[in-house]
Structure 1
Amino acid sequence: MSQLKQSGKQMPRPDTPRRFVFVLLDKFSLLSFASALDCLRIANRQFPKPAYQWQVIGEGGDTMVCSTDTVFKLDDDLIELHRDDTVVLCGGIDIQAATSKKLLNWLRREARKGVRVAGLCTAAYALAKAGLLNGKKATIHWENQDSFSEDFPEVRLSKSVFSIDGPRMTTAGGTSSIDLFLQVIADDHGEDLANWVADQLIYSSIRTDQDTQRLSVPTRIGVRHPKLSQVIQMMEANIEEPISPSILASDVGMSTRQLERLFRRYLNRSPKRYYMELRLQKARNLLMQTDMSVINVALACGFASPSHFSKCYRAHYDTTPYRERGAQSHRLSI
């Protein structure tokens, strides 16, 4: 017998089951999809009749391959939906290639009916491309945030694990699907049921839309020095217009020499070197995930000239930005 029933609480019978239509995109994230679906499955155990129904569809209506190369049988093609349905778009690798014109047209048509639409992992890209996130708050996996903000400046991008803005829901990927769907279940049937589902999943730390995706700077770099962490946060927030080490040091109340010693001691590199690596990492993300010109990528990452950018990029990645862009284009066309 379930914990809720043992405690004397009986869930009310839902009048009509709520239907979720999962749309699998090519190379979708299996973890994001399975996490969402299992929340609904487990919640149904507390009702005499299912509170939730689901259907799994995709372009073509036959099969879809996830990011682990596992093949999934689809229930149907991109069919016409009911106004009360909730569409859950499941993204993953190479989201640009998976976002077809047919999918975009279908999304726009169904959204006009007033259906709620969610995007898991990188699927926020497809929602934004369809114009469904204009003026709305949304999130996407941290690795895709740089390119997303360049492509869709009209979207209010958040670094939270999930975001709900009216009829639009987005997640950062991975286990953040659990957090979003626990919130959906809590809104529909109360927090007791959501907490019970979390217990069934052995999910002990439920996150809200106020929780950020990435580990804190001290945890991420393995250093718990408050001033060093503060400097790194300032660097990450100022990629396009880098701040000099002397100003960074002054802002946290230390000398440039002290800052140099901190970086050497904890990170085995100079502040200038660490800052350069952050900028080059963002540049690589933009080259791999957008169609921005190399010159614009250089400017977005704080490089005054393409030649200097190319020289620094080659020294760090052993290839030029132009070759990186060409190699990525080749991979997407395969």
Structure 2
Amino acid sequence: MPEPDPAVPSVPEPIPAPSASRPRRYVFLLLERFTMASFAAAIEPLRLANRLAGRELYEWRLIGEQAQTATCSNGTRILLDGPLTETRRDDTVLVCGGLDVGRATTRSVLAWLRREARRGTRIGALCTGTWVLAEAGLLDGRRCTIHWENQDGFAERFPDVTLIRTVFVEDGNRLTAAGGTAAIDLMLRQIARDHGAELASRVADQMIHTAIRSEEDHQRLSVPTRIGARHPRLAQVVARMEANIEDPISPARLASEAGMSPRQLERLFARYLGRSPKRYYMEIRLERARNLLLQTEMSVMEIALASGFASAAHFSKCYRATYGCTPYRERGAAAAG
């Protein structure tokens, strides 16, 4: 028996199909400042599936809180087909998020999503749209994913939701994609389910999407790729740092775990990363703190503790030295903006 081709997506379990007389429909809810990349990555596979099949397998509708247009994060305005109206029972709603998702999460959007969920509508999200579904209570007790930059804030804000750090997740009638090209993989999964793996592979080929990812694939590049160095011990230490933000590990212990002396560790970081282990660790912790500061309503003291600082004063001093302003001013400027 021939081995399966890893480039061909596995065919998932079927979902209820629409009427035989009409194509399956996706309803894209475009929030203000949504990300164009993830929206395009979701809608283009549907268009290509229609083209390659020579018939209309899919159709779509664009809606928003405003009836006429939605503006994406790059400033482009998209014409909408209409406002937040009731969908068909066999529609799939995809919430397209982007920048400043908190402001886009309005009462009317939440109420509409909850109403559609009560009707049994299949609902998903792209990029930070996951945040909106969680805010509506539609992900409680479920698995989901969100863009890696928003994961720290999301985990703090929604403890009842199981965050999976992969490119996309399907949990029953909820589906989420991390953003960017992850939406391609999610939609290829839907096409494979509806019309077979061969069509999904042909769509991927048209998009020059050479590696179709599954639910198990992680979002971020490997540590060696991200740091630009393939030294195994260095990658091991950096991975340990990233996994221990709230309770930092001492450089001496990191060196011991990697089988080297503290001095050797210092030389390794200086050679490949141009900074000391202590400084690099501080930058990782401050990056997480900044994400929490801009994405959550946690107090500065809570953020300091979650980022491994013993006091708000020390945290504020380190933050200002790196970003040129205090955490309080950073949050105030973001709110004003």
Same fold (TM over 0.5): yes
Q: TM-score, normalised by structure 2?
A: 0.92
After superposition, give the CA deviation of every residue in 1:169-210 in whole Å (9 maximum; x if it has no partner): 111111111110001101111100100111111211111111
Mapped pair 1:68 → 2:71: no
Q: Residue in 2 aligned with 1:5?
A: none
The offset of 1:320, in angstroms, is 0.6
Mapped pair 1:309 → 2:315: yes
Output the aligned Cα RMSD: 1.3
* CA–CA distance in structure 2, aligned partners of residues 282 and 48 of structure 1: 48
Q: Residue in 2 aligned with 1:239?
A: 245
* CA–CA distance in structure 2, aligned partners of residues 43 and 14 of structure 1: 17
* CA–CA distance in structure 2, aligned partners of residues 313 and 35 of structure 1: 36
Match of 2:32 among 26, 29, 33: 26
* CA–CA distance in structure 1, aligned partners of residues 162 and 21 of structure 2: 36
Mapped pair 1:180 → 2:186: yes
* CA–CA distance in structure 2, aligned partners of residues 228 and 315 of structure 1: 26
Q: Residue in 1 aligned with 2:265?
A: 259
Q: Residue in 1 aligned with 2:12?
A: none
Mapped pair 1:168 → 2:170: no
* CA–CA distance in structure 1, aligned partners of residues 35 and 283 of structure 2: 28
The offset of 1:48, in angstroms, is 5.3
Q: Residue in 1 aligned with 2:159?
A: 153
Could you say what secondary structure the match of 1:213 adopts?
coil
* CA–CA distance in structure 1, aligned partners of residues 22 and 52 of structure 2: 15
Could you say what secondary structure the match of 1:109 adopts?
helix
Q: Residue in 2 aligned with 1:84?
A: 90
Q: Is the 8 A contact 2:127 2:179 kept in 1?
A: yes
Could you say what secondary structure the match of 1:319 adopts?
coil
The offset of 1:45, in angstroms, is 2.2
The amino acid across from 2:116 in the alignment is E
The amino acid across from 2:238 in the alignment is I
The offset of 1:287, in angstroms, is 0.9
Q: Residue in 1 aligned with 2:131?
A: 125
Could you say what secondary structure the match of 1:45 adopts?
helix
Q: Is the 8 A contact 1:14 1:51 kept in 2?
A: no
* CA–CA distance in structure 2, aligned partners of residues 48 and 239 of structure 1: 52
* CA–CA distance in structure 1, aligned partners of residues 33 and 164 of structure 2: 24
The amino acid across from 1:181 in the alignment is M
Q: Residue in 1 aligned with 2:7?
A: none
Moved over 3 A (4+): 13-16, 46-49
Q: Is the 8 A contact 2:319 2:327 kept in 1?
A: yes
Structure with bigger RCO (C-alpha 8 Å, 6+ apart) = 2
Could you say what secondary structure the match of 2:128 adopts?
helix
Q: TM-score, normalised by structure 1?
A: 0.93
The offset of 1:219, in angstroms, is 0.6
Could you say what secondary structure the match of 1:146 adopts?
helix
Number of corresponding residues:
319
After superposition, give the CA deviation of every residue in 1:60-92 in whole Å (9 maximum; x if it has no partner): 211111111111111111001122110011111
**Structure 1 segment 81-120 matched on structure 2, within 5 A:** 81-120=87-126
Instruction: Flag structure 2 segments of 5+ consecutive residues without an equivalent.
Output: 1-18
The amino acid across from 1:173 in the alignment is G
The offset of 1:14, in angstroms, is 5.5
* CA–CA distance in structure 2, aligned partners of residues 14 and 80 of structure 1: 21
Could you say what secondary structure the match of 1:180 adopts?
helix
The amino acid across from 1:185 in the alignment is I
Could you say what secondary structure the match of 1:104 adopts?
helix
* CA–CA distance in structure 2, aligned partners of residues 227 and 167 of structure 1: 42
* CA–CA distance in structure 2, aligned partners of residues 15 and 256 of structure 1: 69
Q: Is the 8 A contact 1:22 1:54 kept in 2?
A: yes
Match of 2:57 among 48, 51, 54: 51
* CA–CA distance in structure 2, aligned partners of residues 318 and 62 of structure 1: 40
Q: Is the 8 A contact 2:48 2:203 kept in 1?
A: yes
After superposition, give the CA deviation of every residue in 1:117-173 in whole Å (9 maximum; x if it has no partner): 110011000000001111111111111111111111111111111111111111111
Q: Is the 8 A contact 1:29 1:92 kept in 2?
A: yes
Q: Is the 8 A contact 2:52 2:203 kept in 1?
A: no
Could you say what secondary structure the match of 1:20 adopts?
strand
